[in-house]
Amino acid sequence: MDVKEQGTNQRLQVAVYPGSFDPVTNGHLDIIRRAAKVFDKLVVAVLNNTSKNPLFTLEERMELLRRVTADLPNVEIDGFRDLLINYMQKKNANLIVRGLRAVSDFEYEMQLASTNRKLKDDIETFFMTSTPKYSYLSSSIVKEVARFHGPVVDLVPPEVEKALKGKYGTGVKA
């Protein structure tokens, strides 16, 4: 959590925003930008979930995130393949950021937050509600629209739109 700032007695608040980000959406980017204003350092931790078959590799997802957050100096992009709690210990962090799109997300997110706190009792989870214009948006929806060559221009950053065109062919409409 609190990393001591070099040469001072101040502590930096380090938060981790975990997810698969397959692909990163404008909704994710909204949460990242808002969380970057709240915490001294935000680590966007891209999960390599071996039980899922992602469209983009871990490295591709991390590179897309680096591109769309390049203007945020306190945001670090990293990947992990472990329990979030173990990863957070490696990062010396105890603050988790999670986005909530709708009430339906809350029950699942509450289970995760409670489990994380049970595993490590000094873990705090901060829920950020989605900006209303992104409350419906998910990576799954984006992939479904892109797969059938629908327009994703308002759903993802331009870098991601281009990457989706590369995965699904040039038929994705701008």
Q: Active-site residue numbers? A: 28, 52, 101, 139
Structure token digits, residue 51: 């039980």
Which 3 state secondary structure label does DSSP give 15?
strand
**Up-side HSE of residue 38: CA atoms within 13 Å toward CB?**
16
106 in a known ligand binding site: no
104 in a known ligand binding site: no
109 in a known ligand binding site: yes
**Among 51, 61, 64, 72, CA closest to 19:** 61
Structure token digits, residue 28: 């994710």
134 in a known ligand binding site: yes
98 in a known ligand binding site: yes
Q: What is the DSSP secondary structure assignment for residue 133, as one 8-state letter?
A: G
66 in a known ligand binding site: no
Residue ranges for the known binding site for substrate are: 20, 52, 84, 98
Residue ranges for the known binding site are: 20-21, 28, 52, 84, 98-101, 109, 134-140
Residue ranges for the known binding site for ATP are: 20-21, 28, 99-101, 109, 134-140
